[in-house]
Structure 1
Amino acid sequence: MLDIFRGLKTLIKVSNLHIDCPVFRLHYSITVLILIAFSLIVTTRQYVGNPIDCIHTKDIPEDVLNTFCWIHTTYLVRGAFKKKIGVEVPYPGVETAKDEKDKILYKYYQWVCFCLFFQAILFYTPRWLWKSWEGGKIHALMMDLDIGICSETEKRIKKKLMIDYLWENFRYHNWWAYKYYFCEVLACINVIGQMFLMNRFFDGAFLTFGIRVIEFMESDQEDRIDPLILVFPKMTKCTFYKFGVSGNVEMHDAICILPLNVVNEKIYVFLWFWFIILSLLTFITIVYRFIIILSPRMRVYLLRMRYRLIKKDDIDLLVRKSKMGDWFLFYMLGENVDSLIFRDVIHELAHKLRNHQFQDCSRGFKDIHQEP
C-alpha cells in the first residue's frame, strides 16, 4: 500500500519544463493527487477493513447480515432527526419506519472510491488534451537553453535555430495558443461541473454542504443538528428478510454502524472548500486570458514586468507586429529559457523586424521614384 502512495509523488514532481500556468497545474497535479489518494484510502477501508458492522441476532450469521446491508443499502427516517437523542431515539434518524416514503436511503457509499477515481480522470483530461496539442513545441525550442552555462559556439547555434523558427513562423501561433485557452476553459467547466455531479451523487446535499457546516459550527450547541449526520450517518437501519422455522417470512430490523463515513465526511468537506477555491482561481485566470486577447497594451505590460532585462522598445515592436499566439509563445519560452539567452533572442528578433520594415520602406520609396 505504501508503494502505491509513493507512486503518487510522480504527479507532483517538479518539472523544469513549463507549458502552462500555475492554476492549470493545480488541476492535473495537486487535485488529481488528492483524489487518487482519497480513492485509495476509501478503497483500503472498504475492501480491507470492515466498512459496516450491524447488530445481529443469533439466527443470522454476522457476515451474512453485514454483506446484505452493505449491498442493499441502509436507511434513516426523516421524522426522527428532530427527536430527542437518548429518550425518543438512540441516534438521529434511527427509528422504525412507518411509511416507506419517510425513509432516506443511503446507497452512495459503495461507489465513493470509484467516483473519486473517475473525478481524477476528468481533472487530468484537459492536461492530456493540451499535452497532445502542444506537441512538445516548447521543449523542442528550448534545446537545453534553460541552463546558461554552455559553450559560446553551442549557445550561438541554438539561439540561431530558435530565432530562425520564430522568424519563419511569425504570426502563425494563434491557433496553438487558443487550444491552450480552450483547455483552461475546459478545466473551469470541469471543476464546476464536478460540484454539480457530486450534488447529484449526494441527492442535492453537496452544493450547500460547506455553508451548512460553517453555520453548524457557529450555531448554539444546544439546538443545532450536525449537517454531516444527514449526508454521512454513522448509524443507520437495515431490514433483513428470511424464512423462519415455520416457513413464514420473518423481518429482522438491524442497526448498522458505518465507520467508513467518518472518513467520507472529512474527504468531502475538504473537497467542497478545495473545489470552491479552485473554481474561483480558474475563473479569474479565464478573465485574465480574455483581457490578454483583447488588450495588446496588457500584453506589453506583462512582458515588461516579467522580463525586465529586455529593452522596452523591443517588446513594444514585437507585440505591435505579432499576434496574440506569438505573445503566448514568447511568454512560455521566457518561463523556460535562461533569462540572458532569452533577452538575446528577443533582441535579435526585434532587430530582424526593424530591418524588414526598413527594406519594405526602401522598396516602396524606389517604386515611387521609378514610376513614369
Structure 2
Amino acid sequence: MYDVFGSIRGLLKIDSVSIDNNIFRLHYKGTMFILVAFSLLITQKQYFGDPIDCIVEGVDSGIMDTYCWIHSTFTIPALTGGVIGEEIPHPGIANPSLHGPDDQYEVKHHKYYQWVTLFLYLQAIMFYVPRYLWKLWEGGKMKMLAMQLNAPILDEDVKKERMAELIDYFNIYLHNHNIYAFRFLLCEVLNFVNVIGQIYFTDRFLGYEFTTYGTRVFAVSEQEFGTRRDPMDEVFPKVAKCSFHKYGPSGTVERLDGLCVLPVNILNEKIFIILWFWFIVVAVISGVGLLYRLATFIPAFREILLRTRSRLASPDHVQTISRNCQFGDWFVLHQLIKNMDPFICKEFFADLAKEFEEKAHARIGSTSADAIPLTHS
C-alpha cells in the first residue's frame, strides 16, 4: 500500500509556522487526505481486481464489461430484501414478471461508479479552497513576525533585536488588523458551508441515499443476513443486471440480459459509510468552532484565552495588553504566540505591556498639560 499512499503523505506534513488552527487543518489536511487516498485506492486494480465483470451468452465478456460500465447497470430496489436463493438469486436481482405486473417495480439504474474517483478528487479540491484563500490573504505575515522566535535557544542579541522589531510593529500597526482577522473568520465560515454542501452534493450523487445511509446501515446491522433489506445492497449493489441489444440472424433486435459482478462496490460501500460519519463529525466540530469564534468578540473571553496561551506571562501584563488590543490585534497576537517559545513569549509580553503603559502615561501627561491654563504677565 505504500506505493499508493506514499505520494500523498506530504499532505499531512506539519507546517513550521502555524497560520490557522486545528479545526481548519481538519478540513484541508485530514479530510483532503482521506478523500485523495480513497480516490487513489479505487483505481488500484492489483488489490481489488477489475471494477466490473459481466456474463451473458453470445457476447464477448470484454465487450460486455466495457458496455455495461459505460451504459450503467440496474437493480430493482423493492426486491432487495427477498430471501436469497429462494425468492431471488441476488439482492435486487429478479424477473419482475414473476413477482407481479411488469410496471409494479421501479428499476434503478446505477451510473455513479463511473465517476466516484473524479467525484472524490473534486471534493478534496473543494476542501482545500478556503486554505488557498487564507494563504493568499495571509501573505506570509505570521512567518515574518514569528521568524526565529520559535527556537528555545536563541542568541541574546538576536532575541532583543527581534523583540524590538515586534514592539515597533505593534506600535505602528495597532488597531489595523481587523481586516486580517475577519478574512480568517470568512475562511472558517467557508469551511463550514463547504462541508454542509459536500453532504448535500454527495446525497445527490448517490441518488438522494446518502443523508440516511449511515443510520439505515446501523438499523439493519443486527438483523439476520440473507433476509434483511440491506441499504448497502440498494445503494452499492454487488451484483446487478445489464441489458445488451444486438441484431439477430434475421435482422431483428435481440435483447440479452446479463449479470454483472461489481467488486468495486465492496470498496465503495465502505468508503461512503466512513465519509458519512466523517462529514458529520467535521460539520459538528466546525459549527462549534464558529461559536467559539463568535465568543472571541467578547473582550473578557479574549483575555482568558490570551492568559491560557501565554501561561508563563504575568497576569498583569496579559491584562494590560488585552485591554489595549482590538479583536484584530488580539487575533494576530494569539496566532503569534502559538509560534513563539514560551520563555520568549514571557519576555515579549513584559516589554509590550511596558510599552503600552508608557504610551498611556504619555497620553495622560499630554492631556494634563493641555488642561493647565496659560497665564500672561
TM-score (normalizing by structure 2): 0.94
Structure 2 counterpart of 1:40, which letter?
A: L
Q: What is the aligned-residue identity percentage?
A: 39
SS at structure 2 position matched to 1:265 = helix
Give the 4+ runs in structure 1 shifted more than 3 A: 1-4, 45-49, 218-223
**Is contact 1:80-1:92 (8 Å) kept?**
yes
Counterpart CA distance in 1 for 2:257 and 2:128 is: 44
Alignment-derived partner of residue 150 in structure 1: 154
SS at structure 1 position matched to 2:151 = coil
Could you tell me which runs of 5 or more consecutive residues in structure 1 were left unpaired when the two chains were aligned. Answer: none
Alignment-derived partner of residue 54 in structure 2: 54
Counterpart CA distance in 1 for 2:226 and 2:254 is: 40
Alignment-derived partner of residue 70 in structure 1: 69
- How far residue 121 of structure 1 moved from its aligned partner, in angstroms, is 0.1
**Is contact 2:295-2:301 (8 Å) kept?**
yes
Alignment-derived partner of residue 9 in structure 1: 9
- Residues 89/272 of structure 1: CA separation in 2 closer, same or farther (3 Å cut): same
Counterpart CA distance in 2 for 1:55 and 1:342 is: 70
Where do residues 203-222 of structure 1 align in structure 2 (5 Å cutoff)? 203-219=207-223
- How far residue 125 of structure 1 moved from its aligned partner, in angstroms, is 0.6
Could you tell me which runs of 5 or more consecutive residues in structure 2 were left unpaired when the two chains were aligned. Answer: 97-101
- How far residue 178 of structure 1 moved from its aligned partner, in angstroms, is 0.8
- Residues 222/104 of structure 1: CA separation in 2 closer, same or farther (3 Å cut): closer
Q: Show CA shifts across 1:79-125 (max 9, x none).
A: 32243321221012102353497211101000000000000000011
Counterpart CA distance in 2 for 1:136 and 1:164 is: 18
Alignment-derived partner of residue 353 in structure 1: 356
Alignment-derived partner of residue 42 in structure 1: 42
Choose 77-86 or 185-194, whichever is displaced more.
77-86
Aligned mate of 2:197, from 193, 204, 220: 193
Q: Show CA shifts across 1:216-244 (max 9, x none).
A: 12445575321100100000000100011
TM-score (normalizing by structure 1): 0.95
Work out the number of aligned pairs and report it: 370
**Is contact 1:36-1:120 (8 Å) kept?**
yes
Alignment-derived partner of residue 301 in structure 1: 304
Alignment-derived partner of residue 232 in structure 1: 236
Alignment-derived partner of residue 99 in structure 2: none
Choose 95-104 or 140-149, whichever is displaced more.
95-104
**Is contact 2:307-2:315 (8 Å) kept?**
yes
Counterpart CA distance in 2 for 1:111 and 1:239 is: 21
Aligned mate of 1:284, from 278, 285, 288: 288
- Residues 24/122 of structure 1: CA separation in 2 closer, same or farther (3 Å cut): same
- How far residue 2 of structure 1 moved from its aligned partner, in angstroms, is 4.5
Q: Show CA shifts across 1:21-75 (max 9, x none).
A: 1111011111111111100111223999411111121x21111111111100000
SS at structure 2 position matched to 1:102 = coil
Q: Show CA shifts across 1:251-287 (max 9, x none).
A: 1010110000000001001111111111111110000
SS at structure 2 position matched to 1:256 = strand
Counterpart CA distance in 1 for 2:26 and 2:76 is: 41
